[in-house]
Amino acid sequence: MLGTPLAKDGSILLRILLVVVVLLVGSSGLVESGIGVNWGTLSLHKMSPTTVVNLFKDNKIEKVKLFEADPDSMKALMGSGIEVMVGIPNDMLPLLSTSTSAADLWVSQNVSRYMVKGGANIKYVAVGNEPFLASYSGQYQSYVVPALMNLQQSMAKANLAGIIKLVVPCNADAYESSLPSQGAFRPELTQIMTQLVSFLSSNGSPFVVNIYPFLSLYGNSDFPQDYAFFEGTTHSVTDGPNVYYNAFDGNFDTLVSALSKIGYGQMPIIVGEVGWPTDGAISANLSAARAFNQGLINHVLGNKGTPLRPNVPPADIYLFSLLDEGAKSILPGNFERHWGIFSFDGQAKYSLNLGNGLLRNAKDVEYLPSRWCVADPSKDLSTVADHFKLACIYADCTTLNYGGSCNEIGAKGNVSYAFNSYYQLLKQNEKSCDFDGLGMVTFLDPSIGECRFLVGTTNVKSSGFSLHGRLVIVLLLIFWVSWIHIV
């Protein structure tokens, strides 16, 4: 098409030049990575989905990954233009792998209904979340490829197959090796990975991997700390002609090698989760999280790629995570509730530049009144143990443990922290600060140094006045107007 008008003057040179320019522009477009963010919703103090979507917009974050098709989140994303990767939880895989009608229903209820004019911009469906995780002992792995096949057919029936790609986020524990060039999938996964990757490839889908240098450092006392970051290391890894200066690149290239080994060395890769927590372990702190995330973003946006994929950075990366989630399981460790780049209420924890300016806080977050519940200093706390335990089962007390930001506030401080967390969780309900007379409400912020005693948020939508408030104002106005008339 482009050649037609030029063909008249016969300038072959010009045509070649044009093709070269088009190729250059096209290929530089291909290596541009996007920075997205995971939005998990296992929070104890839920923010309104509209406020969260505004937080995405204000920070110009154009890609979001959801762990499931939560209707409230999906509705809030409609019309925003934000690219969505929406997940299917592992426990749905058995059903979706055996029932085509269940797959059809999932697609119609959780994808098609949002793919309307002014709807959600769904780009990927993530089938399962780390279904091959070694700690699952294989319980999901046989369902993955059959579920993919069923869902692909459902997508085709819904005329969405060309628009939305199916992917399977895998934990980096699906492959292993001490040297990147020797990377291979775990032997028991070789066959399934070959099927999976061939399916992905035939549909033009990328491989999605979650990479966590933090967990390598946390789980292995021999792991050289500076190799987890991006600022140069005294422990570089030499692998034949290649030298690795950070764990992220080493891990990424281990995957590239594993893919090459099964014949798909060129497959595009998306990093579905990557990040650093800020609390609940010694190496989980604000300065480490900032250093890691900023180093990673600069590294990826620098388009340098890795030794095995020079100048080809990951297609996209999704930071883990947007907000702290106080209701997450702490089986992996106390840090698990502290992955947010924002705290539970959408406030930036540290300055971070995602490529277009520093993080901006969420606007219009509605807080409960400024009051806290603490241990009454005049009371004997010898019988408090059961109250403490119970409060911390419901509320989040992870920061009190070793390595946490509140680990050094003393025994009484511990009790107050637990009381307050519970009180805020119950929306400052009067009775929730009783604890058999051991608790008391205070209007002085009991926070000590880095240890923050939180104030909860309300569930009220951020719309200024409540209906009730507006009604009162209208009544007052009517009263005022009629009063003037009487006078």
Ligand X SMILES: *[C@@H]1O[C@H](CO)[C@@H](O)[C@H](O)[C@H]1NC(C)=O
Catalytic residue among 62, 83, 273, 325: 273
Tell me, yes or no, if 130 is annotated catalytic: yes
CA 88, CA 102: separation in Å to the nearest integer?
13
Please answer whether residues 104 and 144 qualify as being in contact, where contact means their C-beta atoms are separated by less than 8 angstroms. Answer: no
CA 339, CA 325: separation in Å to the nearest integer?
8
| Residue 450 touches ligand X, criterion: CB under 6 A | no
Tell me, yes or no, if 450 is annotated catalytic: no
- Contacts with ligand X in 270-299 (CB under 6 A)? 282-283, 285, 287-288
Least distance to ligand X from the beta carbon of 466, Å? 30
| Residue 410 touches ligand X, criterion: CB under 6 A | yes
Catalytic residue among 130, 231, 366, 430: 130
> Which are the contacts of 254, defined by CB distance < 8 A and separation ≥ 6?
172, 175, 176, 177, 180, 182, 183
Comparing CA positions, the residue from 231, 212, 360, 352 lying closest to residue 294 is 352
Binder of ligand X out of 56, 106, 207, 212 (CB under 6 A): 106
> SS3 letters for 351-377?
CCECCCCECCCCCCCCECCCCEEEECC
Q: For ligand X, which stretch binds (CB under 6 A), given 10-18, 103-111, 196-204, 368-376?
A: 103-111
Is 99 or 361 the residue whose CB approaches ligand X more closely? Answer: 99
Total interface residues for ligand X by CB under 6 A: 19
H-type alpha helices, 67-208: 71-77, 93-98, 100-110, 144-157, 190-202
Binder of ligand X out of 99, 181, 260, 401 (CB under 6 A): 401
**Residue keyed to tokens 């922290």:** 417
Tell me how far the alpha carbon of residue 101 is from its chain's centroid: 30
Binder of ligand X out of 23, 411, 473, 477 (CB under 6 A): 411
Binding-site string for ligand X from residue 52 to residue 71, where x marks contact by CB under 6 A and - marks none: ----------------xx--
Is 173 or 226 the residue whose CB approaches ligand X more closely? Answer: 226
Least distance to ligand X from the beta carbon of 142, Å? 20
> Which are the contacts of 453, defined by CB distance < 8 A and separation ≥ 6?
372, 416, 417, 420, 445, 446, 447
Token digits for 76? 């809030």
- Peptide bond just before 416 cis, omega within 30 deg: no
| Residue 109 touches ligand X, criterion: CB under 6 A | yes
Binding-site string for ligand X from residue 214 to residue 253, where x marks contact by CB under 6 A and - marks none: -----------x----------------------------
CA 238, CA 245: separation in Å to the nearest integer?
9
Token digits for 27? 């290929």
| Residue 107 touches ligand X, criterion: CB under 6 A | no
Binding-site string for ligand X from residue 413 to residue 432, where x marks contact by CB under 6 A and - marks none: -x------------------
The residues of the shown chain that bind ligand X, judged by CB under 6 A, are 68-69, 89, 105-106, 109-110, 225, 282-283, 285, 287-288, 400-402, 410-411, 414
Q: Which residues are catalytic?
A: 130, 273
